Amino acid sequence: MSAVSDDSLAREGGAPADWPGKLGGRFVVFDGPDGSGKSTQFRRLVGLAEAAGVTVCEVREPGGTHIGEEIRKVLLDAQHEEEAPIDLRCEMLLFMASRAQLIAQRVRPALARGELVLADRFISSTLAYQGAGGGLPVEEIIAVGKVALQECWPDLVVVFDVDAATARARMNPLLRGQEFDTDQDRMESKGDAFHRKVRQGYLDQATNDPGHYLVVDARGEEDEVYGRMCAGLAERVKQFTDKG
Ligand code: TMP
């Protein structure tokens, strides 16, 4: 963390300083390839919003509920691959099942209370990983998504974009100061070609629906990324407010 305060960085680029206080009642997703650094920026936005008086409902996917955390264990368990690889549609449906529970149990009630719902991954991950990466047709994912989400689509998906080399370096256990990477889950252990497709999957989503996506260049130092994220969010929050 730098000596410069989060608040002063949040104003970078002449962005109006009051935008974090206007996040209440919105549903914002942070997403991106493994190693994009999104979770670090997630924590910083939580701090900024709370300092502005906004109650934040933090959720992560897959998981975020008791049922969802059980589903998460099944999905990320590398053991399955050794026995029999999980069927792609089974995988997608499990992610969606976790999501349906999350929306019913946490997202909808929090939005109704006027909180900011900040999600670490959402359906944008399914479109990138099972869709672009795995090859499942987008139409199938969207059709199941409509059933699971019941109209509860995010106001904004912030995509932290990194090239494969940067992402790999950030996930590299030696660079992270660990001798062995015992943490690598089933998704993280897929190859470079898969992760390149995933990255492109996020960029394509943003190109096809620019009103609901904000792409942040996630290369470089944490504070630089934070400054870019805040400048982008300030602009989008202004648009929310203008639309009412
Ligand atoms: P994370 O919690 O560390 O971000 O890891 C979750 C992993 O699951 C990550 O590799 C992305 C993957 N994932 C999917 O493949 N599809 C999904 O719908 C979601 C939510 C995550």
201 lines ligand 1 (CB under 6 A): no
Ligand 1 centroid – CA 85 distance (Å) = 17
Mean pLDDT by 10 residues, the chain (244 residues): 59 68 98 95 98 97 95 86 87 97 98 98 98 97 98 98 87 52 62 92 98 97 97 94 74
Q: Which of 76, 88, 102, 187 to mutate to test the pocket of ligand 1 (most atoms within 8 A of CB)?
A: 187
List the one residue out of 203, 205, 207 whose CA is nearest residue 218: 203
The amino acid present at 195, given as its one-letter code, is H
pLDDT (0 to 100) of residue 208: 98
125 lines ligand 1 (CB under 6 A): yes
Question: pLDDT digit string (tens) for 14-42?
Answer: 555 799 999 999 999 999 999 999 999 99
Nearest-atom number in ligand 1 for the CA of 60 is: 2
pLDDT (0 to 100) of residue 96: 98
pLDDT (0 to 100) of residue 116: 98
129 lines ligand 1 (CB under 6 A): yes
pTM of the model: 0.90
**By the 8 A CB rule, do 95 and 64 touch?**
no
**By the 8 A CB rule, do 126 and 89 touch?**
no
Q: What CATH code is assigned to 22-243? A: 3.40.50.300
Burial of 148 by CB count in 10 Å (0-12 exposed, 13-18 middle, 19+ buried)?
Answer: buried
* In the chain, where the domains are located: 22-243
Provide Rg for the chain, Cα atoms.
18
Q: DSSP labels for 152-184?
A: ---SEEEEEE--HHHHHHHH-TTTTT-SS-TT-
Ligand 1 centroid – CA 188 distance (Å) = 9
